[in-house]
Amino acid sequence: MPKILIIGAGGQIGSELTLKLRDVHGPERVVAADINDKNTDLVNSGIFEIVDAQDYESILNCVKKHDIDTIYLMAAMLSATGEKFPVKAWDLNMDSLFHVLNLAKDNIIKHIFWPSSIAVFGPTTPSKRTPQHTIMEPTTVYGITKQVGERWCEYYHNKYGVDVRSLRYPGIISWKTMPGGGTTDYAVEIYHKAILDKRYASFLSKDTELPMMFMEDAIRATLDIMEAPAETIKIRSSYNLSAISFTPSEISEAIKKHISDFDMSYAPDFRQAIADSWPSSIDDSSARTDWNWAHHFDLEKMTAEMITRLREKYKHSEINS
């Protein structure tokens, strides 16, 4: 029976996506792959392979070994890290995509999921309710690779019939995994610091509004678009995806409803300029119309879940330390 391969399974989204796919399809049908085997949850819960996303032969050998027909390409260097290593970010993000697209073009695999990002937008993009089709002039290497990647995905679909599907993820917030070098990472770090220290210094200014999403919604959107009938997927570059937008001051106020003495301060750094180039809210009506996307978590519901889960997590760590 054909299997699913997640490349970059050890990342923030990849790790939770892998476990969800194993729940849905069974651990024997979902192969987790990464450049290292440090994530013991992935290694111990199903099939795991060491795969270099930049090495075509490494991917091909894994695909043939496990009879893979669907690849989720989650390996990438994110925005803040990419600005420190621009050439490495370009090479990783583009080489890995071409390898997977070419596997589908050659009929070695059948289906691809590739994540894009709100980083494709830039300072010239309409910032409020950013449309699906609009100006895209990204100012980061990460955004450039995602914009170019979208064009190649659409090209491979139109030219070769490749079934590639994509979402422009907003900032993703999770209690299970730590952030991986993105500009929206403050919205994950803040909850951990609220529990541990009751204070947090934001690297973005208090009024910087950005589109965000709880991980559970992001994973569900990913599964939904991949399970949707092909005729309903009308956009083969990447779909806008949205749930909630908020500022650091707004998330701070939401946390104070649970931790009254939480203290927030602000120390904007180089990530502020990146955030300023991105939209404050996203129009994802195409996704909602084409394949019935709908989010479940707002800021209040997400904050309650994050604090409850992290309190349990840190209490468990104390008991076992």
Q: From the candidates 72, 142, 169, 186, which is the catalytic residue?
A: 142
CA distance 62 to 64: 5
**Spacing of C-alpha 286 from chain mean position:** 19
Strands 210-214, 244-246: pairing kind? antiparallel
Q: How far is it, in rounded angstroms, from Cα 40 to Cα 42?
A: 5
Distance CA 182, CA 61 (A): 31
Beta bridge pairs of residue 109: none
* pLDDT tens-place string over residues 11-66: 989 999 999 999 999 999 999 999 999 999 899 999 999 999 999 999 999 999 99
Q: What is the pLDDT of residue 320?
A: 55
Can you say whether the dihedral through the CA atoms of 85, 88, 90, 96 is positive or negative?
negative
Active-site residue, 142 included: yes
Taken in order of first residue, the domains within the chain and their CATH numbers are 3-171+214-240 (3.40.50.720), 172-212+243-280+297-319 (3.90.25)
Contact of 267 with 193, CB cutoff 8 Å? no
Closest CA to 240 of 279, 275, 202: 279
Model confidence band, residue 180 (pLDDT cutoffs 50, 70, 90): confident
| pLDDT tens-digit readout, 57-91 | 999 999 999 999 999 999 999 888 999 999 999 99
Residue 319 has pLDDT above 50, yes or no: yes
Residue type, 225: I
pLDDT, tens only, 244-284: 999 999 999 999 999 999 999 999 999 999 999 999 999 99
pLDDT above 60 for 321: no
